[in-house]
């Protein structure tokens, strides 16, 4: 099969030298890509951490940095890429920065610049929601293969996590959901669809995801 894996975090620029990002390193996606390549599939890996790509593995690796970089890669590749499966493991920031503001004479003034000055007593950032790239696979990009979505929650019970994950899977038209919590992400994840989810040890996650894709 032809399999696309996205991995890593995105950077949301504040100015040309600063950004908002998250803690995720892309290792999960790289491990999944390596497992797929080891099984003989033709793998494409889009990652913000190309250093995590397994050395010697036979796959195409493309690096990205920002939301816009990844969006451009997906928009130019997915519609005509002939992929049989997409594993969308990238941890994408939920917001764009729409301005950086400082108080001047009691009013907020936009001080956005190539490098925001470091002499402000305080700064305010305006954040606006970013589009959900995972929701574009079925609609804008016309992908009809197997879509694997990831969902992470913080401080959720297993029941709440599964309820949220399944609603999210249905909303995006994904075939398979991988769900975990920040607290447990190094140890386990739920993998499943509909009413059938199983709790998988972290060490077995890539194997179980590829087994499920191949079974489809």
pTM equals: 0.93
Predicted local distance difference test score (pLDDT) of residue 106: 87
pLDDT in tens, the chain (216 residues): 999 999 999 999 999 999 999 999 999 999 999 999 999 999 999 999 999 998 877 999 999 999 999 999 999 999 998 999 999 999 999 999 999 999 988 899 999 999 999 888 899 999 999 999 999 999 999 999 999 999 999 999 999 999 999 999 999 999 999 999 999 999 999 999 998 999 999 999 999 999 999 998
Predicted local distance difference test score (pLDDT) of residue 195: 86
Extract the tokens encoding 35: 């497992």
What span, in angstroms and rounded, lies between the C-alpha atoms of 93 and 9?
Answer: 8
Residue in the block written with tokens 């075939």: 175
Q: Is 31 left (phi over 0), alpha (psi -120 to 50) or beta?
A: alpha
DSSP state of 95: E
Predicted local distance difference test score (pLDDT) of residue 156: 97
DSSP state of 57: -
Predicted local distance difference test score (pLDDT) of residue 96: 95
Name the fold adopted by 2-93+133-215.
Rossmann fold (3.40.50)
Residue in the block written with tokens 């696979």: 137
Predicted local distance difference test score (pLDDT) of residue 81: 86
DSSP state of 183: T
CB 82, CB 114: distance < 8 Å = no
Predicted local distance difference test score (pLDDT) of residue 52: 93
Predicted local distance difference test score (pLDDT) of residue 112: 92
Predicted local distance difference test score (pLDDT) of residue 55: 84
Predicted local distance difference test score (pLDDT) of residue 168: 97
3-state secondary structure of 27: helix
What is the bridge-based pairing of β-strands 146-153 and 176-181? parallel
Extract the tokens encoding 114: 């190539």
Looking at the chain, the domain(s) classified CATH 3.40.50.10300 span: 2-93+133-215
What is the bridge-based pairing of β-strands 19-20 and 42-47? unpaired
């Amino acid at each position: 099969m032809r399999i696309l894996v996205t991995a890593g975090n995105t950077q949301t620029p504040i100015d040309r030298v600063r950004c908002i990002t998250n803690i995720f390193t892309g290792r999960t996606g790289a491990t999944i890509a390596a497992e797929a390549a080891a099984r003989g599939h033709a793998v494409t890996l889009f990652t913000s951490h190309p250093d995590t790509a397994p050395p010697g593995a036979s796959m195409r690796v493309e690096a990205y940095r920002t939301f816009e970089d990844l969006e451009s890669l997906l928009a130019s590749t997915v519609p005509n890429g002939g992929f049989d499966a997409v594993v969308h493991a990238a941890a994408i920031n939920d917001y764009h920065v729409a301005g950086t503001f400082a108080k001047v004479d009691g009013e907020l003034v936009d001080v956005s610049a190539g490098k925001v000055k470091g002499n402000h007593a305080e700064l305010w950032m305006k954040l606006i929601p970013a589009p959900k790239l995972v929701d574009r696979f079925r609609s804008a990009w016309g992908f009809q293969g197997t879509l694997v979505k990831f969902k992470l929650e913080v401080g959720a019970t297993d029941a709440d996590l599964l309820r949220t994950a399944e609603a999210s899977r249905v909303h995006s038209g994904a075939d398979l959901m991988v769900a975990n919590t920040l607290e447990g992400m190094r140890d386990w994840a739920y993998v499943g669809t509909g009413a059938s989810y199983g709790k998988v040890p972290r060490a077995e996650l890539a194997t179980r995801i590829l087994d499920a894709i191949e079974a489809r």
